[in-house]
Protein backbone atom coordinates (compact mmCIF):
# COMPACT_ATOMS: atom_id res chain seq x y z
CA UNK A 1 0.00 0.00 0.00
CA UNK A 2 2.77 2.39 0.96
CA UNK A 3 4.61 1.56 -2.25
CA UNK A 4 1.45 2.29 -4.28
CA UNK A 5 1.17 5.75 -2.75
CA UNK A 6 4.75 6.62 -3.62
CA UNK A 7 4.25 5.21 -7.10
CA UNK A 8 1.15 7.38 -7.66
CA UNK A 9 2.92 10.51 -6.47
CA UNK A 10 5.80 10.08 -8.92
CA UNK A 11 3.38 9.15 -11.72
CA UNK A 12 1.45 12.38 -11.20
CA UNK A 13 4.71 14.28 -11.04
CA UNK A 14 5.94 12.69 -14.28
CA UNK A 15 2.74 13.67 -16.10
CA UNK A 16 3.05 17.28 -14.96
CA UNK A 17 6.78 17.34 -15.81
CA UNK A 18 5.92 16.20 -19.32
CA UNK A 19 3.50 19.11 -19.67
CA UNK A 20 6.25 21.51 -18.55
CA UNK A 21 8.68 19.93 -21.02
CA UNK A 22 6.19 20.42 -23.87
CA UNK A 23 5.53 24.05 -22.91
CA UNK A 24 9.25 24.81 -22.75
CA UNK A 25 9.85 22.99 -26.02
CA UNK A 26 7.14 25.03 -27.72
CA UNK A 27 8.71 28.25 -26.41
CA UNK A 28 12.21 27.01 -27.32
CA UNK A 29 13.51 27.42 -23.78
CA UNK A 30 16.49 25.33 -22.64
CA UNK A 31 16.04 24.21 -19.03
CA UNK A 32 18.75 23.11 -16.56
CA UNK A 33 18.02 21.55 -13.15
CA UNK A 34 20.94 22.17 -10.74
CA UNK A 35 21.31 19.53 -8.03
CA UNK A 36 23.81 19.38 -5.16
CA UNK A 37 24.19 19.19 -1.40
CA UNK A 38 23.46 22.34 0.63
CA UNK A 39 26.23 24.89 0.25
CA UNK A 40 28.09 23.32 -2.70
CA UNK A 41 27.85 26.62 -4.54
CA UNK A 42 24.70 26.45 -6.72
CA UNK A 43 23.72 30.09 -6.18
CA UNK A 44 27.29 31.39 -6.51
CA UNK A 45 27.71 29.44 -9.77
CA UNK A 46 24.41 30.84 -11.05
CA UNK A 47 25.35 34.41 -10.14
CA UNK A 48 28.57 34.11 -12.16
CA UNK A 49 26.86 32.23 -15.02
CA UNK A 50 23.97 34.70 -15.34
CA UNK A 51 26.42 37.58 -15.34
CA UNK A 52 28.49 35.88 -18.06
CA UNK A 53 25.50 35.03 -20.29
CA UNK A 54 23.75 38.35 -19.82
CA UNK A 55 24.49 39.75 -23.29
CA UNK A 56 23.92 36.49 -25.18
CA UNK A 57 20.83 34.79 -23.75
CA UNK A 58 17.70 35.85 -21.91
CA UNK A 59 17.75 33.85 -18.66
CA UNK A 60 15.48 33.33 -15.67
CA UNK A 61 15.76 31.34 -12.46
CA UNK A 62 13.41 29.32 -10.30
CA UNK A 63 15.01 28.58 -6.94
CA UNK A 64 13.79 26.22 -4.24
CA UNK A 65 14.61 26.45 -0.54
CA UNK A 66 12.94 25.22 2.62
CA UNK A 67 12.65 28.82 3.82
CA UNK A 68 13.72 32.43 3.07
CA UNK A 69 14.24 34.34 -0.18
CA UNK A 70 17.98 34.83 0.37
CA UNK A 71 19.02 33.09 -2.87
CA UNK A 72 16.37 34.87 -4.96
CA UNK A 73 17.59 38.26 -3.78
CA UNK A 74 21.16 37.28 -4.70
CA UNK A 75 20.21 36.24 -8.25
CA UNK A 76 17.54 38.86 -8.96
CA UNK A 77 20.37 41.29 -9.63
CA UNK A 78 21.18 39.31 -12.79
CA UNK A 79 17.87 37.82 -14.04
CA UNK A 80 14.15 37.47 -13.23
CA UNK A 81 14.02 35.04 -10.30
CA UNK A 82 11.14 33.21 -8.64
CA UNK A 83 11.68 31.80 -5.16
CA UNK A 84 9.74 28.70 -4.07
CA UNK A 85 9.59 27.87 -0.36
CA UNK A 86 8.92 24.18 0.15
CA UNK A 87 7.94 24.50 3.84
CA UNK A 88 10.28 21.72 4.86
CA UNK A 89 10.05 19.71 1.62
CA UNK A 90 13.44 18.32 0.57
CA UNK A 91 13.02 18.77 -3.21
CA UNK A 92 11.12 20.71 -5.86
CA UNK A 93 8.33 18.94 -7.72
CA UNK A 94 6.74 19.60 -11.09
CA UNK A 95 3.61 21.19 -9.59
CA UNK A 96 5.74 23.81 -7.83
CA UNK A 97 7.67 24.57 -11.01
CA UNK A 98 4.45 24.75 -13.03
CA UNK A 99 3.04 27.37 -10.65
CA UNK A 100 6.30 29.35 -10.71
CA UNK A 101 6.27 29.37 -14.54
CA UNK A 102 3.02 31.38 -14.46
CA UNK A 103 5.02 34.32 -13.06
CA UNK A 104 7.63 34.31 -15.86
CA UNK A 105 7.34 35.84 -19.33
CA UNK A 106 8.12 32.69 -21.31
CA UNK A 107 8.03 34.45 -24.68
CA UNK A 108 11.02 36.52 -23.54
CA UNK A 109 13.21 33.62 -22.38
CA UNK A 110 15.99 31.48 -23.89
CA UNK A 111 17.22 29.63 -20.80
CA UNK A 112 15.58 28.62 -17.53
CA UNK A 113 17.76 27.59 -14.60
CA UNK A 114 16.17 25.68 -11.74
CA UNK A 115 18.20 25.68 -8.51
CA UNK A 116 16.82 22.70 -6.63
CA UNK A 117 16.68 22.42 -2.83
CA UNK A 118 20.14 21.58 -1.45
CA UNK A 119 20.02 17.79 -1.26
CA UNK A 120 21.89 15.14 -3.22
CA UNK A 121 19.19 12.46 -2.89
CA UNK A 122 15.48 13.41 -3.21
CA UNK A 123 15.70 16.01 -6.03
CA UNK A 124 17.15 13.38 -8.35
CA UNK A 125 13.93 11.33 -8.30
CA UNK A 126 11.59 14.16 -9.31
CA UNK A 127 11.42 15.11 -12.96
CA UNK A 128 10.84 18.87 -13.38
CA UNK A 129 10.58 18.88 -17.17
CA UNK A 130 14.22 19.95 -17.54
CA UNK A 131 16.40 19.22 -20.56
CA UNK A 132 19.45 18.46 -18.45
CA UNK A 133 20.41 17.81 -14.86
CA UNK A 134 23.58 19.51 -13.68
CA UNK A 135 25.26 17.64 -10.82
CA UNK A 136 27.48 19.77 -8.59
CA UNK A 137 30.03 18.52 -6.07
CA UNK A 138 32.32 20.78 -4.07
CA UNK A 139 35.72 19.43 -3.08
CA UNK A 140 34.99 20.08 0.61
CA UNK A 141 32.35 17.32 0.55
CA UNK A 142 34.91 14.65 -0.36
CA UNK A 143 35.55 12.52 -3.45
CA UNK A 144 33.68 9.54 -1.93
CA UNK A 145 30.33 11.21 -2.65
CA UNK A 146 30.54 9.94 -6.22
CA UNK A 147 30.45 6.31 -5.12
CA UNK A 148 28.05 6.91 -2.22
CA UNK A 149 25.42 8.88 -4.16
CA UNK A 150 25.66 7.38 -7.66
CA UNK A 151 22.22 8.23 -9.03
CA UNK A 152 22.79 11.95 -9.58
CA UNK A 153 26.05 11.32 -11.46
CA UNK A 154 24.33 8.65 -13.55
CA UNK A 155 21.51 11.01 -14.56
CA UNK A 156 23.46 14.25 -14.91
CA UNK A 157 24.53 15.60 -18.31
CA UNK A 158 27.51 17.42 -16.78
CA UNK A 159 29.33 17.66 -13.45
CA UNK A 160 30.66 20.86 -11.98
CA UNK A 161 33.45 20.18 -9.48
CA UNK A 162 33.33 23.38 -7.45
CA UNK A 163 35.58 25.08 -4.87
CA UNK A 164 38.76 23.77 -6.50
CA UNK A 165 40.57 26.69 -4.86
CA UNK A 166 40.12 24.71 -1.62
CA UNK A 167 41.27 21.33 -2.98
CA UNK A 168 44.79 21.41 -1.46
CA UNK A 169 43.45 22.28 1.99
CA UNK A 170 40.93 19.42 2.20
CA UNK A 171 43.17 16.76 0.59
CA UNK A 172 40.65 16.17 -2.21
CA UNK A 173 41.64 13.00 -4.08
CA UNK A 174 41.16 13.87 -7.78
CA UNK A 175 42.39 10.48 -8.99
CA UNK A 176 39.75 8.66 -6.97
CA UNK A 177 37.08 11.18 -7.97
CA UNK A 178 37.70 10.65 -11.70
CA UNK A 179 38.05 6.87 -11.32
CA UNK A 180 34.73 6.57 -9.48
CA UNK A 181 32.99 8.84 -11.96
CA UNK A 182 34.26 6.68 -14.82
CA UNK A 183 32.65 3.67 -13.12
CA UNK A 184 29.30 5.40 -12.66
CA UNK A 185 29.05 7.31 -15.95
CA UNK A 186 32.08 7.11 -18.21
CA UNK A 187 30.95 9.74 -20.72
CA UNK A 188 30.07 12.46 -18.22
CA UNK A 189 31.90 15.76 -18.88
CA UNK A 190 33.41 17.49 -15.84
CA UNK A 191 34.25 21.16 -15.43
CA UNK A 192 36.51 22.06 -12.54
CA UNK A 193 35.34 25.34 -11.14
CA UNK A 194 35.96 27.98 -8.53
CA UNK A 195 32.78 30.00 -8.61
CA UNK A 196 34.14 32.59 -6.19
CA UNK A 197 37.24 33.19 -8.31
CA UNK A 198 35.45 32.68 -11.64
CA UNK A 199 37.51 29.69 -12.84
CA UNK A 200 35.57 27.38 -15.15
CA UNK A 201 32.56 29.69 -15.53
CA UNK A 202 33.20 30.54 -19.19
CA UNK A 203 33.66 26.82 -19.99
CA UNK A 204 30.29 26.10 -18.38
CA UNK A 205 28.66 28.92 -20.37
CA UNK A 206 30.17 27.60 -23.61
CA UNK A 207 28.75 24.17 -22.77
CA UNK A 208 25.29 25.71 -22.15
CA UNK A 209 25.40 27.52 -25.51
CA UNK A 210 26.44 24.37 -27.39
CA UNK A 211 24.01 22.08 -25.58
CA UNK A 212 21.14 24.50 -26.10
CA UNK A 213 21.81 24.68 -29.84
CA UNK A 214 22.05 20.89 -30.09
CA UNK A 215 18.83 20.32 -28.18
CA UNK A 216 16.91 22.96 -30.10
CA UNK A 217 18.11 21.47 -33.37
CA UNK A 218 16.92 18.03 -32.21
CA UNK A 219 13.51 19.52 -31.44
CA UNK A 220 12.97 20.96 -34.93
- Residues in the site for ligand GTP, rule: CB under 6 A? 36, 38-44, 71, 118, 162-163, 165-166, 194-196
Chain positions contacting Mg ion, by CB under 5 A: 42-43, 71
Q: From the list ligand GTP, Mg ion, none, pick the one residue 41 interacts with, judged by a Cβ distance below 5 to 8 Å according to partner type.
A: ligand GTP
Chain position whose Cβ is nearest to Mg ion: 43
CB of 101 to Mg ion, least distance (A): 20
Nearer to Mg ion (CB atom), residue 64 or residue 129: 64
Cα dihedral 198/81/100/64 (nearest 10):
50
Nearer to Mg ion (CB atom), residue 123 or residue 185: 123
Q: From the list Mg ion, ligand GTP, none, pick the one residue 86 interacts with, judged by a Cβ distance below 5 to 8 Å according to partner type.
A: none
Q: From the list ligand GTP, Mg ion, none, pick the one residue 40 interacts with, judged by a Cβ distance below 5 to 8 Å according to partner type.
A: ligand GTP
CB of 83 to ligand GTP, least distance (A): 11
The runs of H, that is alpha helices, within the chain are 2-27, 42-53, 70-76, 94-101, 145-148, 150-155, 174-184, 201-219
CB of 159 to ligand GTP, least distance (A): 14
Beta bridge partners of 33: 114, 133
Spatial distance between the Cα atoms of 196 and 41, rounded to a whole number of angstroms: 9
Spatial distance between the Cα atoms of 148 and 5, rounded to a whole number of angstroms: 27
CB of 205 to ligand GTP, least distance (A): 16
Nearer to Mg ion (CB atom), residue 33 or residue 43: 43
Residue 159: phi and psi, rounded to 5, are -120, 130
Whole-number Cα distances in Å, 145 to 34, 38, 47, 137, 161:
17, 13, 25, 8, 12
Q: From the list Mg ion, ligand GTP, none, pick the one residue 212 interacts with, judged by a Cβ distance below 5 to 8 Å according to partner type.
A: none
Spatial distance between the Cα atoms of 101 and 51, rounded to a whole number of angstroms: 22
CB of 43 to ligand GTP, least distance (A): 3
Nearer to Mg ion (CB atom), residue 13 or residue 43: 43
- Residues 6 or more apart in contact with residue 11 via CB below 8 angstroms: none
Nearer to Mg ion (CB atom), residue 43 or residue 194: 43
Amino acid sequence: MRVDVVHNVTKLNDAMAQQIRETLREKRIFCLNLISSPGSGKTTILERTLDHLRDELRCAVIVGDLATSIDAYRMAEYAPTIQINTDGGCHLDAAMVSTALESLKLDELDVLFIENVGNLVCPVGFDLGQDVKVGILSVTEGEDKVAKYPRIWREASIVLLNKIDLAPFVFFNRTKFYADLEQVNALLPVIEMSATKGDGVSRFCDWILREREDRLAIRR
